[in-house]
């Protein structure tokens, strides 16, 4: 049975399908390398791949895939944590599990659901459980509605598509209102806002002849109408019920298809019985989600719109047959055709139009969703962005062409300056196109926190700020998983249960804050809770057990303890759940941030809570920077990281007791970092008074970089370092200069961290 999903879920499902195939193929390839190297690392890698598939499947409610991958994880843990040696028979079962998962992903690709994989999942899960028992006990043996809009002369496909897109925005608006209802100061206005949004969808659905959606909206509208009139308490039960109805409306919107009259004439599938079990995530029965059988019919005026011809018929000034004939011709407006044919008078048409406007007068939200944008495939935007990067590189190559050296080119320079201005504006516009607010991401996190708080039975006051902060769309996609894992940990491990919070003198309701702000050339996203904080002793004990800490643990500084939680498989959880405890989540945080040149900072205080700060570049593609020379190598530094540059005098250079050199600039003592020494550049200037000092700043700290020469200011198109070079600490990528020379891009924060840690 094909599952109906909304557009956002469909996009996530398509991504899950592509990544699922890739991860399963990767797991199979890694298993084939067992016996030829570090078997433990290979098994850990396969474990992470299964865990990633399981996490995504759980989020998408693909319960069979989630269950099977969870059992596969349990088998791998027998090898990894319990030290039981694997056998070829056991590997055969793992391979069969991969094959079964691949079949199940293929089923999701067809139906957006794994519901039809029940028997396959049960059989393979039973095999895994049997194998686990046998490995642990080798001596003991085996312990519907019609979902289409009819296209005709009045309803075009473009109109229908606009209706679906605008309705999706409105239902999201309503969901946001109900999510914020519990903390809203003006609950009545929130309910009114939801009612107006649903009323607009209902009216439009009626106009487009989409009876299924109209019926669902009537049901939701009646509930909201009762609430705004004071007939329903605005409690948690009300919120849950409204969210379930919103899910039903969204699922219907996502399943809309557009059919011509010929297609519509073909037999359509029987509509699903009201309240029947569905696979779209809404599971309430008919008594919960259907309109009461004795409900009064909704007045026609409440629909908010009637066609002009229908109004003229109701006024008694035009026969229905003449109106139908005019609609069939439809070369001019219906009213004009009826006047020209002598069927009605101009005055009657004017009155009918006034009636029509009055009926649609309460459609406030319609103005709010008037669109001034067009929908563009993101691959086209990515292509545009890549071309802009190539344009900037080509422009730099023209400006630095040796063929132009020594020539008097006044007119060329003037024209080239104009071209540079235009290309800069194109680049800024292309960047703005890909910049979207974090509001959508934060909204999803709010729903996640709500669901997890109910799962863990913990009261949570979730506070969000900075959701209007804009970030590159591709970066947002990369930080979604890290945010999910950090928030899960905050609710599962950070916040204490209500009884324990009372004993500690805290409010029973915990507080979790999610915020975003601009910080120089970065965006800092903070997840903060008022829970128990990270447990230093437990982390160190686990680290010692795993051999991550040598020597006396008490001598390890806090700043070196907290990053240990990002180690693969590191977990201090006493029990494993289907949400956390396997030590994979924080590893995902670290890996995803490294992909986008980001980093994470941890602040924690025992008994008072923790804060995780994700420090992320605004964009991954183009930045303004200063290019410098060190020896015969070139480096580029983000312009926003540079505070000033100067020539140092001998009396400004000092040494600490540990032999580290510092620079005194107007009474401010800063560490001296010699790029030539750090990166081992031959011929680099190492005399602080002979080179040039660049004062750089990151996370509120400053340092002086010693360079040979400042080459100039230019836009830098960031490219990844070759896999041959590998990861180099202190560098975030490279760029191609105008003359074809490679310039390495400095990661200022990480470079300073190497010296200042």
| Close Cβ partners of 709 (under 8 Å, ≥ 6 residues apart) | 628, 629, 692
Residue 143 has pLDDT above 70, yes or no: no
More confident residue, 235 or 300: 235
In a domain, 315, yes or no: yes
- The answer to whether 565 and 534 have CB atoms below 8 angstroms apart is yes
Residue 286 has pLDDT above 50, yes or no: no
In a domain, 602, yes or no: yes
More confident residue, 101 or 303: 101
Query: What does the pLDDT read at residue 369?
Result: 34
| pLDDT > 70 fraction of the chain, expressed in percent and rounded | 82
Range of the domain at 185: 148-303
Paired tokens of 699: 């996370």
Paired tokens of 527: 């997840």
Name the domain boundary from 617, 643, 658: 617
Same domain membership, residue 712 and residue 593:
no
Residue 678 has pLDDT above 60, yes or no: yes
Here the contacts of 19-26 (C-beta below 8 Å, separation 24 or greater) are 19/52, 19/56, 20/53, 20/56, 20/101, 20/105, 20/108, 21/102, 21/105, 23/49, 23/52, 23/53, 24/49, 24/53, 24/98, 24/101, 24/102, 24/105
In a domain, 378, yes or no: no
Q: What is the CA radius of gyration of the chain?
A: 32
pTM: 0.48
Query: What does the pLDDT read at residue 356?
Result: 61
Residue 656 has pLDDT above 70, yes or no: yes
Range among 148-162, 435-449, 501-515 with highest mean pLDDT value? 501-515
In a domain, 142, yes or no: no
pLDDT confidence bin for 621, thresholds 50/70/90:
low
CATH of the domain at 657: 2.30.30.40
Query: What does the pLDDT read at residue 359?
Result: 55
Residue 291 has pLDDT above 70, yes or no: no
Cα 106 from Cα 102, distance rounded (Å): 6
Lowest mean pLDDT among 95-104, 107-116, 351-360: 351-360
Residue 293 has pLDDT above 50, yes or no: no
CATH of the domain at 580: 3.30.565.10
What mean pLDDT is predicted for residues 344-365?
62
Query: What does the pLDDT read at residue 287?
Result: 30
Lowest mean pLDDT among 86-100, 248-262, 461-475: 248-262
What mean pLDDT is predicted for residues 138-146?
48
DSSP state of 300: G
| Close Cβ partners of 523 (under 8 Å, ≥ 6 residues apart) | 469, 471, 516, 517, 616, 617, 618
Going from the C-alpha of 564 to that of each of 69, 172, 539, the distances in angstroms are 26, 39, 8
CATH of the domain at 198: 1.20.120.160
Same domain membership, residue 99 and residue 56:
yes
Same domain membership, residue 206 and residue 118:
no
In a domain, 383, yes or no: no
What mean pLDDT is predicted for residues 150-169?
78
In a domain, 2, yes or no: no
Residue 177 has pLDDT above 70, yes or no: yes
Query: What does the pLDDT read at residue 662?
Result: 92
Lowest mean pLDDT among 252-256, 317-321, 369-373, 384-388: 369-373
pLDDT confidence bin for 596, thresholds 50/70/90:
confident
Q: How many domains does the chain have?
A: 6
Same domain membership, residue 430 and residue 541:
no
Lowest mean pLDDT among 134-148, 468-482, 492-506: 134-148
Residues in the chain: 757
Question: Which tens digit of pLDDT belongs to each residue from 226-257?
Answer: 888 887 788 877 888 788 788 878 877 877 77
In a domain, 368, yes or no: no
pLDDT confidence bin for 154, thresholds 50/70/90:
low
- The answer to whether 635 and 741 have CB atoms below 8 angstroms apart is no
Query: What does the pLDDT read at residue 452?
Result: 83
Same domain membership, residue 313 and residue 272:
no
Residue 290 has pLDDT above 60, yes or no: no
Name the domain boundary from 548, 582, 617: 617
What mean pLDDT is predicted for residues 213-225?
85
Same domain membership, residue 561 and residue 641:
no
Cα 495 from Cα 509, distance rounded (Å): 9
In a domain, 380, yes or no: no
- The answer to whether 694 and 705 have CB atoms below 8 angstroms apart is yes
Cα 451 from Cα 464, distance rounded (Å): 16
Same domain membership, residue 153 and residue 234:
yes
Query: What does the pLDDT read at residue 520?
Result: 66
More confident residue, 723 or 491: 491
Question: Which tens digit of pLDDT belongs to each residue from 639-655?
Answer: 878 889 899 999 999 98
Cα 151 from Cα 259, distance rounded (Å): 6
- The answer to whether 109 and 15 have CB atoms below 8 angstroms apart is no
Residue 353 has pLDDT above 80, yes or no: no
Same domain membership, residue 585 and residue 451:
yes
| Mean pLDDT of the chain, nearest integer | 78
Same domain membership, residue 610 and residue 462:
yes
Task: Using alpha carbons, select from 148, 164, 147, 149 the residue that is nearest to residue 201.
Answer: 164
Is 642 in a helix, a strand, or coil? Answer: strand
Cα 442 from Cα 467, distance rounded (Å): 7
Query: What does the pLDDT read at residue 634?
Result: 92
């Amino acid at each position: 049975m094909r599952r109906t999903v909304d557009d956002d879920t469909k996009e996530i499902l398509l991504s899950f399908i592509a990544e699922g195939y890739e991860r399963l193929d990767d797991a199979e390839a890694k298993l084939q390398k067992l016996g030829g190297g570090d078997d433990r690392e290979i098994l850990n890698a396969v474990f992470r791949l299964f865990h990633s598939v399981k996490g995504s499947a759980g989020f998408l409610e693909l319960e069979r895939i989630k269950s099977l991958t969870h059992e596969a994880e349990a088998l791998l843990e027998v090898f990894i944590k319990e030290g039981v040696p694997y056998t070829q028979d056991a590997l055969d079962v793992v391979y069969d599990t991969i094959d079964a998962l691949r079949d199940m992903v293929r089923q999701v690709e067809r139906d957006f659901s794994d519901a039809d994989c029940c028997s396959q999942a049960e059989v393979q899960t039973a095999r895994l459980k049997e194998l686990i028992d046998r490995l642990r006990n080798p001596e003991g043996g085996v312990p519907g509605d019609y979902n289409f809009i009819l296209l005709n002369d009045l309803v075009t496909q473009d109109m229908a598509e606009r209706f679906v897109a605008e309705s999706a925005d409105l239902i999201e608006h309503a969901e946001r209102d109900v999510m914020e209802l519990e903390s809203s100061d003006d609950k009545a206005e929130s309910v009114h806002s939801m009612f107006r949004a649903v009323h607009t969808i209902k009216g439009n659905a009626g106009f487009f002849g989409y009876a299924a959606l109209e019926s669902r909206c009537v049901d939701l509208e009646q509930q909201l109408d009762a609430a705004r009139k004071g007939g329903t308490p605005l409690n948690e039960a009300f919120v849950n019920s409204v969210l379930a109805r919103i899910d039903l409306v969204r699922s219907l919107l996502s399943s809309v298809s557009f059919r011509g009259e010929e297609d519509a004439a073909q037999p359509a599938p029987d509509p699903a019985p009201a309240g029947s079990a569905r696979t779209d995530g809404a599971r309430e029965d008919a008594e919960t989600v259907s309109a009461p059988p004795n409900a009064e019919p909704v007045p026609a005026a409440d629909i908010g719109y009637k066609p002009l011809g229908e109004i003229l018929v109701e006024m008694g000034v035009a026969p229905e047959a003449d109106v139908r004939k005019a609609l069939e011709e439809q070369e001019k407006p219906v009213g004009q055709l009826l006047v020209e044919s002598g069927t009605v008078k101009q005055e009657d048409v004017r009155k009918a139009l006034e009636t029509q406007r009055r009926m649609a007068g309460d459609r406030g939200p319609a103005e709010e969703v008037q669109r001034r944008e067009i929908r563009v495939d993101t691959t086209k935007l990515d292509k545009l962005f890549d071309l802009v990067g190539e344009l900037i590189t080509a422009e730099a190559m023209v400006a630095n062409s040796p063929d132009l050296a020594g020539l008097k080119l006044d007119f060329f320079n003037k024209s080239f300056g104009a071209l540079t201005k235009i290309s800069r504006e194109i680049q800024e516009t292309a960047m703005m196109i890909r910049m979207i607010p974090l509001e959508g991401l934060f909204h999803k996190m709010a729903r996640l926190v709500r669901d997890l708080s109910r799962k863990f039975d913990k009261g949570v006051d979730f506070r969000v700020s900075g959701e209007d902060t804009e970030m590159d769309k591709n970066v947002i996609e990369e930080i979604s998983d890290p945010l999910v894992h950090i928030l899960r940990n905050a609710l599962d491990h950070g916040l204490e249960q209500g009884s324990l919070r009372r004993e500690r003198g805290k409010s029973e309701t915990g507080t979790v804050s999610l915020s975003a702000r601009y910080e120089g050339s970065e965006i800092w996203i903070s997840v903060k809770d008022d829970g128990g904080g990270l447990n230093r002793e437990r982390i160190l004990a686990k680290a010692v057990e795993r051999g991550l800490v040598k020597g006396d643990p008490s001598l390890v500084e806090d700043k070196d303890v907290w990053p240990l939680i990002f180690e693969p498989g590191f977990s201090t959880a006493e029990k494993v759940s289907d949400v956390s405890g396997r030590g994979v989540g924080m590893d995902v945080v670290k890996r995803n941030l490294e992909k986008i040149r980001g980093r994470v900072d941890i602040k924690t205080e025992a008994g008072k809570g923790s804060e995780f700060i994700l420090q992320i570049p605004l964009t991954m593609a183009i930045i303004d920077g200063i290019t410098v020379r060190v020896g015969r190598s070139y480096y580029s530094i983000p312009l926003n990281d540079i505070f000033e540059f100067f020539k140092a005098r001998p009396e400004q250079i000092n040494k600490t007791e540990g032999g580290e050199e510092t620079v005194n600039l107007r009474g401010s003592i800063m560490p001296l970092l010699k790029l030539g020494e750090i990166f081992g550049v031959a011929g680099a200037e190492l005399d602080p008074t002979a080179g040039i000092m660049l004062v750089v700043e990151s996370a509120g700290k400053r340092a002086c970089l010693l360079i040979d020469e400042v080459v100039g200011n230019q836009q830098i198109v960031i490219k990844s370092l070759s896999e041959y070079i590998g990861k180099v600490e202190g560098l975030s990528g490279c760029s191609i200069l105008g003359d074809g020379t490679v310039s390495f891009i400095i990661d200022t924060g990480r470079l300073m961290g190497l010296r200042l840690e």
